[in-house]
Chain A
Amino acid sequence: MSWQIDVGLEVHVELNTASKIFCSCSTAFGAGPNSLCCPVCTGHPGALPVFNKKVLEYAVRTGLALGCEIADITFFDRKNYFYPDQPRGYQISQLYATVCRGGGLEIDGPGGSRLIPLIELHMEDDAGKLVYGENGELYIDYNRSGVPLLEIVTAPELHSDWEVSAFLEELIGVLRAIGVSDCRMQEGSMRVDVNLSVRRKGESLGTRTEMKNLSSLRSVRQAIRYESKRQIEILESGGNIENETRRWDEDRGISLPMRAKEEKEDYRYFPDPDLPPVKISRELLETQRGLIPELPRAKRRRYMRDFMLPEQDCRTLTADISVAKLFEETVSLGIPPLEASKWICGDYLRLMKEGAGEHMTAEKLARIITMVSEGMLTRANGRQVLEALFYTQGDPDKYAEEKGLFRIDDRNAVEKAVREIMENFPVQVEECRAGKQKLMDFLMGQVMRKLEGRGDPSLIMSLLNNAIFQDKQ
């Protein structure tokens, strides 16, 4: 019996506005506990929410980037529930007139591209954070309370762990490109709830479970694999799926029920009478449309078409707008796209992952690549220059000069090194002559070492060959 998995996502994205959604407190991450809050975001009596219009701009920009229909008028609803991290006893969210409806995001996979339809986008405020002390005591930090969230809800039309993963990567790319969120799952600035059900092919949608607490793309994939297997096993043994909320246990790699069914909450949604409806003007729409750059997928396809690069390279280059910018500028300075891509996808991105270097420019990178391809630097030394100038300011030529990294073109110097090595390793030379090809690499390495890595490999090779085999004759 073949099974189909149906996944719908609720993606909560923290928008990176400077201030909170309903008050003027800062949204900075990592400040001291309860240092960024006020009567409004701690729910004091008499304090009223005032909508931060920046949030509307970000939501509209996101909606436009995702092809949604943007509402003319949108308003907020209260979602009522008690929880210590929810200072008002209700979340201010949207149900009856969300800011955006419909839309979709195209993903590319082995089977071609597919549009994943979205149901809606809505704005809401984040809750505070519960922190457990060493002795199990509970602390509440309200710094996060009131940070603006955009919830993106997809239709249940994702059918595998990799499709979900591809969708989320594509979405992260879009949100970063349009500058509305940094989408860091580990820091919680992007949180994904997975609604998953399974059905036998040809049947209608099955009963779903909702999974929370997924802190990385990897755990999303794992959780989908685990949960679909769990549901299939239950159904195959004649059981029923409970419509419940489950928590993903990262350490154990399993999902566990979070709330029992009988406690299903009635959130008593109703329009928030403290916040008047918000009109979305043509003007705002057009301004936001103008702020949307080329999106990652379009860029990727252009790179594949115009630069004829492999898809994986294009994906890597377009995932981050600053990387794509560096690439395009480097190419525009005359560097062949494939060469530029190799350097950026390899060494440059490795350095990016390691730390915050911000001194590399397209000009410097192009110069390094040129020096390597023209033979002035070995590839290894080129890499050293890149690394040095990634962390500190400086000029590639000057740096290579100062550190003596330029290749040694002096034939006599190379010959001298070859001779010295042959004298130092007579046994190895003999065995090499006897046909042990591996020792050639060893000798080659020794010469290069002698030349401090600055020798021209092909010159060394030919001189070494001559020296070993001609001397024999």
Chain B
Amino acid sequence: MDELKTFTALELARLMRKGRLSPVELARASLDAIERENKEINAVITITGERAMDQARRVEKRLLAGEEISPLAGVPIIIKDNILVEGVRMTCASRMLENYIAPYDAGVVEMLEKAGLVIVGKANMDEFAMGSTGETSIFGPALLPGNKDYCAGGSSSGSAAAVAAGMALLSLGSDTGGSVRVPASYCGIWGIKPTYGAVSRYGMVTHASSLEQIGPMAKSGADLVALLELCAGADWRNATSVGLPSSGSYDEPPQINILKIAVPQELTEGCTSGVHDVFWGCVEKLKALGARVDTISIPELRYTLAAYNVISCAEASSNLSRFDGIRFGLPGVGADFEERIRNSRGQGFGREVKRRILLGTYVLSEKQYESRFLKAREAARRIKEALEAVMSEYFLILCPTTKTTAPCLGQDLEPETGVCNFDTNTAAANLTGLPAVSFPFGADEKGLPVGLHLMGSAFQDRFVISAAETICHEVSL
């Protein structure tokens, strides 16, 4: 069954509504594809076959009865393994949670299952979503489909690789500094970090509460927006969620000649020649087609990574404190509870997670709080002001998602070089809460996919995706 590779999710859902394709068959095809590809790609940690077949049969029955469920009913989806699905193991790709069975459903899982989507598996990822190559997973990295010397990127490594490899048509990742967009870019698919608060975080394992969002991933812009519609919404169980109000006429795909796009030079420096050529080629073509594209400078962006590292590690150090092996997680052995907690955390967490916890603990300590943590928050505030000022003049900010294409295995294992060189272009969207999409655009000289990154104003997520679609369809090199 090749449908998984040739059709988009919306197209398949339409076939199912018309009775020309069975949700049960599609689910089976998806599970078969996982069975076939996963040995090499390593995108999926846990396969939820039984649950998927049950859901597919239910959806099939309802569709046959003529019920309107949702535009994506019956479509298989893979969920990052830091999002809880009741009764299913959730590992966060960590030894700490290797045997943790989720006691409840995440908000998005509830919404997706209600919309008739079929969860076929839990995706590989960097341990606790900390990493940009997928290599901090205790299950080993997910590999780039089609070229297995390369990483799929991270931290939503499996979510990206699974869609690129045709195991499923849709996936959910989570994005704290670029964790949806970076692997989407490397794997040549679409991924969005929604506006902060658009999607409920209830039931997603918290890494850095103020920065992260669950992000849809798909093979097309139309699929991406359809999945976002289903995920978005205010959830009373997540106090920071507000949902995604309609932004009106901005939701329509824009004409290319009305687009006003800013390109911050800070985000285009240091690219590999392959990425550089694809990106500037696109810019020239856009201009030729009548779009206004200005290269500008936003000096505040130089503080993005520093501020991101301080804030994300600070929040992570506190958020990961609940993993002490007492109520759940890897039990620690010891004479007293202090020793038990120490052993649980010492053995349960990997090196990168520990490094970030230590860094976060340091910047929150009484002596560093003002000079590090508060300063980082002030930097984030100024970056937000600067981006909002740019947004008042331009609709969108365009840059390459990453400065390189997918890295070879083994490049991220030198922590002394910095926490996340991979997130230079993506982290600003997390610091400011703005929506940002990564979409596939061409390839470098090695044939590896290049991703472009489009950031828009708060709550204009749909517009950002449709503008990306316009660029994708009308600009070709």
Residues of A within 8 A of B (CB): 39, 42-51, 78, 80, 82-84, 87-90, 138, 140, 266, 268-270, 273-276
Contact = CB atoms under 8 A, between A and B. Distances in A.
A134 B269 CA distance: 67
Contacts of A46: 82-84, 106, 201-206
The 5 A-B residue pairs with the shortest CB-CB distance, nearest first, are: A89-B321, A273-B210, A268-B364, A273-B209, A43-B322
Interface in B49-98: 82-84, 90, 92, 97
Interface stretch (B231-239, B346-354, B451-459): B231-239
Contacts of B237: 48, 50
A48 B202 contact: yes
Given A50-B236, A138-B337, A80 B90 contact: no
B405 to A, nearest CB: 33
Interface in B297-324: 314-315, 317-318, 320-324
Contact of A270 (B104, B239, B314): B314
B366 interface: yes
Contact of B324 (A49, A82, A266, A270): A82
6 contacts: A45-B206, A45-B323, A46-B201, A50-B236, A87-B326, A273-B315
Contacts of B204: 46
Contacts of A39: 103-104
Contact of B84 (A45, A268, A269): A45
B206 A84 contact: no
Nearest to B96: A45
B236 to A, nearest CB: 7
Given A46-B106, A273-B209, A82 B328 contact: no
A47 B237 CA distance: 8
B227 interface: no
A45 B324 CA distance: 12
Q: Which of B100, B202, B208 has the most CB of A within 10 A?
A: B202
Q: Which of B204, B326, B361 has the most CB of A within 10 A?
A: B326
Contact of B322 (A45, A266, A270): A45
Nearest to A49: B239
B369 interface: yes
Interface of chain B, helix or strand or loop or mixed? loop
A162 B83 CA distance: 56
A83 B336 CA distance: 11
B341 A82 contact: yes
A83 B337 CA distance: 8
B159 to A, nearest CB: 17
B210 A84 contact: no
B326 A84 contact: yes
Contacts of B84: 45-46
B365 interface: yes
Contact of A268 (B236, B238, B366): B366
B205 A45 contact: yes
Given A45-B205, A82-B324, A268-B361, A274 B369 contact: no
Contacts of A50: 236-239
B39 interface: no
A269 B314 CA distance: 11
Contacts of B446: none
Interface residues of B, number: 45
Given A39-B104, A49-B239, A269-B369, 17 more contacts: A43-B322, A44-B104, A45-B90, A46-B203, A47-B203, A48-B206, A48-B239, A50-B239, A80-B317, A83-B337, A84-B324, A89-B321, A89-B322, A90-B321, A268-B361, A273-B209, A273-B240
Nearest to B240: A276
Contacts of B315: 273
Nearest to B242: A276
Contacts of B473: none
B279 interface: no
A304 B323 CA distance: 59
Contacts of B369: 268-270
Q: Which of A48, A82, A276 has the most CB of B within 10 A?
A: A48
Given A48-B237, A273-B209, A274-B206, A266 B321 contact: no
B364 A82 contact: no
Contacts of A47: 104, 202-203
Contacts of B318: 78, 80, 89-90, 268, 270
A266 B365 contact: yes
A88 B239 contact: no
Q: Which of B97, B104, B106 has the most CB of A within 10 A?
A: B104
Q: Which of A82, A266, A270 has the most CB of B within 10 A?
A: A270
B342 to A, nearest CB: 9
Contacts of B337: 83-84, 138
Contacts of A138: 337
A75 to B, nearest CB: 11
Contacts of A82: 321, 324, 338, 341
B327 interface: yes
Contact of A274 (B82, B209, B373): B209
Given A84-B326, A89-B324, A90-B321, A266 B366 contact: yes
A276 B201 CA distance: 14
Contacts of A83: 337
B375 to A, nearest CB: 13
A45 B97 CA distance: 10
A274 B104 contact: no
Interface string B348-382: 00000000000001001110010001000000000
Nearest to A44: B103
A71 to B, nearest CB: 18
A115 B456 CA distance: 57
A90 B92 CA distance: 21
Contacts of A44: 103-104, 322, 327-328
A274 B321 contact: no
Interface string B97-133: 1001001101000000000000000000000000000
Contacts of B201: 46, 48
Nearest to A275: B239
Contacts of A275: 239-240
Contacts of B210: 273
B341 A87 contact: no
Q: Which of A43, A49, A138 has the most CB of B within 10 A?
A: A43
Nearest to A43: B322
Nearest to A22: B239
Contacts of A276: 239-240
Nearest to A81: B321
Interface string B195-217: 00000011111101110000000
A314 B367 CA distance: 52
B327 A274 contact: no
B474 to A, nearest CB: 40
A269 B363 CA distance: 11
B326 A140 contact: yes
A138 B203 CA distance: 30
A159 B106 CA distance: 54
B9 to A, nearest CB: 26
A89 B202 CA distance: 19
A268 B322 contact: no
B320 to A, nearest CB: 8
A67 B260 CA distance: 56
Nearest to A83: B337
Contacts of B328: 44-45
Interface in B359-415: 361, 364-366, 369, 373
Given A48-B237, A270-B314, A274-B209, A80 B364 contact: yes
Contacts of A88: 321-322
Contacts of A84: 324, 326, 337, 341
A270 B210 CA distance: 12
Contacts of A89: 318, 320-324
Nearest to B197: A276
A125 B364 CA distance: 21
Nearest to B373: A270
A268 B83 contact: no
A341 to B, nearest CB: 51
